[in-house]
Chain A
Amino acid sequence: MTPLLEAEHLGRELAGDPPVPLVVDASLTIGPGTFATIVGPSGCGKSSLLYLLGLLDRPTAGALRLSGSEVSDLDGDTRARIRLRYFGFIFQFHFLLPEFSARENVMLPIRRLGALSLSEARDRADQLLGAMGLADKVTKTPDRLSGGERQRVAIARALANDPALVLGDEPTGNLDSGNSARVVEILQMLAHEQKRAVICVTHDPRIAAASDLRIEMLDGRVTGQTRPQPSL
C-alpha cells in the first residue's frame, strides 16, 4: 500500500557561500491515522522539515510523494491547490484574519476551494466550530475570543476542507496547560478517530508523549524515529 506521505532523502539548503543546510537527508513515511511529532532543540530544522512536508517550501534535494505522486517539483499554483485540498495548517499563533468572524475565517478556505455553496459552507463552518466547542462563538471576531478559543478556531479552519493531513507548528506553544491538553486531545482525535495524518512540531514533552510516532531531529538530521507506548 502506498504511504500517504513519503519523504526520501529530503534536503533543504539556504543558498549562500557556503550554503546553509536546514534539513539534511530526511527520510520518513506517514500514513493515515498517525499522530506524529517532530521534536528537537531550537534551530534543529523541525519547522523547516514541516514546511517541506506541507508543500510550503521546496526541497533542494530528495523526493516527496503524496499518495505515491511526486509533488516537490510542481508549480506554485498546483502546490497551492494541493495545500488547499489536502493540508490543514495550525501555527503557534492563530493567524486568524482579525477583520473576520470565527465563522468567516473557517469559511474562507471552503469558499476558495469552491466545492460548496455559500450556505453549505456556512453550515460546515458552524459544524466544525461546534465540534471544537465554539458553537456559541461563531460570529465573534478573534479579538473577542480567548487564546484557547482562537487556537480552536484555527484548528477548525485547518479542517475546513476535510484535509488528509493536518500539520501543526508548535500548536500549543502559546497556550496554558489546560488549553494545551485540550488541543492535544483534539489532535489525537483527528488522527485516531478521523484517520487523518497529524504531524506536529513541538517542544512540549506532553504532546510528544501523546503521539504515535516521534521524529527526533538534531542539526537538520533525523536522528531517530520512536513509537512511544500509548499511555492510556
Chain B
Amino acid sequence: MVGIDRRLLQNVDWALIAVAFGLVVMSAVTLASLHVGRAGGSVVLRQLIWFLIGLIALILLGSLDYRRLVRAAPAIYLLGLMGLAAVFVLGRTVSGARRWVVFGPLSIQPSEIFKVCFLLMVVWAITSRWAQPVGKITLALTLPILAVPIVLIIKQPDLGTAILLVPVLGILLIGAGMRLKLLGGLALASLAAMPLAWLALKEYQRERILVFLDPFRDPLGSAYNVIQAKIAIGSGQLLGKGVAGATQSRLAFLPERHTDFIFAVFAEMWGFVGCLVLLFCYVLLLLRGFDIAASAREPVGRLLALGATTLIAAQVLINVGMVTGLLPVVGIPLPMMSYGGSSMVASFMTLGLLLSVRMRQFQ
C-alpha cells in the first residue's frame, strides 16, 4: 500500500520541502530570541519536537496514494468531527476557550487537524458522482460539510479556524468549475445573513470586530494588541533592530508574541527586508502548490492540491493581515512560524498531501 518506487522518489518536490524547513528554522530562531517566560529554551525544543512529528506525518501522507485518502474521506471527516466534539467532553479551557484535548504531556487542538480532514471531505464530495454536474447540487452536497464543523468550532469558540474553512470550500468550488454567478449569489445571500451571525458571536469576538473598525474604541483591551503590533512592526524599519534591540517584543509589550503575533516579532527584529524574505518563502511555497495543482492530470489531485495550497495561503494572508492591522484580529496562527504543535503538524500534513499529488502526477 505504501508504494514507494524509484519513479515516485524522483518526483519528490525537494524545493517545497526545503522552503518549509527554512520557515521552521526562522520560527525556531525567533522563538529562541524571545525568551518566552522562564521556559524559553523548552519552547524552542517543543516546537522542534512537533516539527519532527510533523515531518513523520508529511512522509506518511506523502507516501500514501492521495486517491485512497480521498476515498476514505467520509470516515476521516467523521473522525475529525468526533475530535471536535471531544473538546467539549475532555477539553481544557485556556483563556475562556475550550480548544484543546489533553493526552498526557501533549495537548492537541483538534480544530487544527480538522482542517485537513475537511479538505479531504470537500474534495471527495465535489468529485463524487452525485455532485455532477458541478452546480447547485454540488452546493447542496458541500454546504452541510461546512456547516456542521463551523457550528462545533464556533462553540469552542475558535472563530479563526471556522472562518478558514469558508475560503477553502469557496476556492475548491471555483476550481471545480462552479459557475461564478452561482457562487456570487451565495456570497450575497451569506452577506445578508451577516446580522444573524453577529448575534451568534461571543461578546469578545464582536468586540474584536468593532475594535478593528475603530482601534481606539478600547485602547486598553483588544486594540492594545493591534497598536502594539503595529509599533513593533513599524519600528523595525528597513533593516530591523536585530535580536537584542527588539524591545517591543522582548519587553513583553506585545501580547501573544510567540503564537499568533509572531510575525510582528520577526518584523521588529529583521525589518522590511526580513519580512520580504519571509513572505517570499511563503510565496515560493504557494507557487509550488499551485503548480502542483495546475499540472495534476485528474480532478481529484488537482482539487486536493488546490485546496491544500489555499489552506496555507489563507492562513498566511489572514495572519499577516491581522498583525499588520489590515484585518480584524482572529486567532489564526502563521503556518510553520507560530508556536503550537497542532498547527505545525496540520501544516506538514497539508504539505504531505501536496507531495503525494506531485509524486503521482505522472502515474
State yes or no: do A and B come from one complex. Answer: no
Q: What is the interface of chain A, defined by CB distance below 8 A to chain B?
A: none
